[in-house]
Chains A and B, each alone.
Chain A
Amino acid sequence: MSYDDVGAISAFAKAHDVSYPLLSDVDSAVIRQYGLLNTQVEPGDVPLYGIPFPGSYVVDEDGVVVAKFFHDSYKKRDSPDNLIDAALGRISLQPEEPRAEGGDETVRVSATLHGGGGVLKQGAMRSVVVRFDLPPGLHVYAEPVPEGMVATSVTVEGVDGIRTGAPVLPPTEPLQLPGVDAELRVWSGTVDIAVPVWPTAPLLSEMQEITEPTTTLDVTVRYQACDDRTCLLPRTEKFSLEARLEPVDLPDLPLHPGSGQRVTKMGSGTQLRRLVIRKLLRTNPLDLLRSVRKQRRLNRAASARAQESAGPDARG
């Protein structure tokens, strides 16, 4: 759903072969009804006023929200897989996703780059899913653990521009061991720990060409599997996942010259002109003037920052 008119969503759907419904909320009535009108945009900011805080809801058969995803940047986009996983209540790994296997004959451990086929795009939210397959009777520990025991941990590292979020952990079960004061929290069976991963600049940016076809994510997993009486040795395993890098789709507007990214063929210029006119007709001229002044101020501040970072010795 967006504040675009039917003409714009129709052009977009044709250009990108979209078969699911795109919805046109031209007056942002539903966006307001949901309490999502973006308050960082002011009424004079033509043609932006009326956009929502971008985010997604997943509902069950009864239309009740089971998950919602809102991020601190509009450039972060959830993989369709995240929405499907939320609807199904489990992580569905796909065969085409980059995967590395480890563990031993007792405990199987794998790491998978999940979402969007495991391809990285600017701001697209993927996750590294570490899956433990534990035989009956064995468990691994969640934080916190008493001195001398090993809690399960997963870290993901990559080149500059790879960002990661806090691991998403499945629910734990309680475990009381004789001789241990604290109640322990454990996982058993199939255990998925998902670390959110998304690429930003300098690795991937809509303003520059992609220079390397792939990047490597280094995954470190530490765990100790135990039954109620004894423990196997603690293990640290390292996995490497090779991820393909892909450009993002950009509007065909002269905003990203020479970026080398993929440009849509929807005729954004014509659509933008119509959007601007539609918005201008509904805007108070005083608000408009205020917004023009604000944008000049922002441009001046950006130029000052650029000069400052170029340093006193910079020429030209």
Chain B
Amino acid sequence: MIHETDDLGFEAPAPLGHPGRSGLPAGQPTGPEIGDKLPDFELPDQHGHRIRLHDHRGRSKAAIVFYRSVVW
């Protein structure tokens, strides 16, 4: 098993440059900016219920986390 440590100090079971180790390139835009209304969407949750972002939060503050995968 190849594992290497990158410049940022992280070790992973994949060679450097492997797409599974991809980070955020410098200067890469990262979607909505501070001050923007977050675009609405509808997706199923872990129970299969459809969740519409702004309806679901009502008048609550919220955190939305984009994550690679729960599988690997």
Contacts and interface: CB of A to CB of B under 8 A. Distances in A.
B66 A31 contact: yes
Interface in B24-70: 24-26, 28-41, 43-48, 51, 53-54, 56-57, 59-70
A135 B35 CA distance: 34
Contact of A299 (B15, B39, B43, B62): B15
A302 B71 contact: no
B23 A21 contact: no
13 contacts: A1-B67, A2-B68, A4-B71, A34-B32, A54-B67, A56-B66, A64-B38, A65-B35, A65-B37, A67-B34, A73-B6, A83-B63, A256-B13
Nearest to B22: A40
Given A6-B46, A298-B15, A73 B68 contact: no
A67 B64 CA distance: 11
Given A21-B56, A63-B53, A73-B8, A68 B46 contact: no
Contacts of B66: 1-2, 31, 34, 36, 52-56
A53 B32 CA distance: 13
Given A2-B67, A251-B72, A302-B2, A71 B16 contact: no
B37 A62 contact: yes
Contacts of A168: none
A73 B43 contact: no
B46 A22 contact: yes
The 3 closest A-B pairs by CB, nearest first: A200-B9, A40-B22, A302-B15
Nearest to B17: A298
A121 B41 CA distance: 32
A98 B19 CA distance: 37
Nearest to A83: B63
A8 B48 CA distance: 11
Contacts of B5: 201, 205
Interface in A25-64: 25, 30-31, 33-36, 38-42, 45, 47-48, 51-64
A206 B38 contact: no
Residue among B38, B44, B57, B65 with most chain A CB within 10 A: B65
Interface of B: 1-6, 8-13, 15-26, 28-41, 43-48, 51, 53-54, 56-57, 59-72
Interface of A: 1-4, 6, 8-13, 18, 21-25, 30-31, 33-36, 38-42, 45, 47-48, 51-68, 70-75, 83-84, 87, 122-123, 161, 163, 200-201, 205-208, 251, 253, 255-257, 266, 268, 271-272, 275, 291, 295, 298-299, 301-303, 305-306
Contacts of B31: 34-36, 55, 57, 68
B70 A40 contact: no
Given A70-B30, A272-B72, A21 B45 contact: yes
B45 A22 contact: yes
A251 B70 CA distance: 8
A67 to B, nearest CB: 7
B46 A9 contact: yes
A68 B57 CA distance: 18
B64 A302 contact: no
B46 A40 contact: no
A111 B69 CA distance: 35
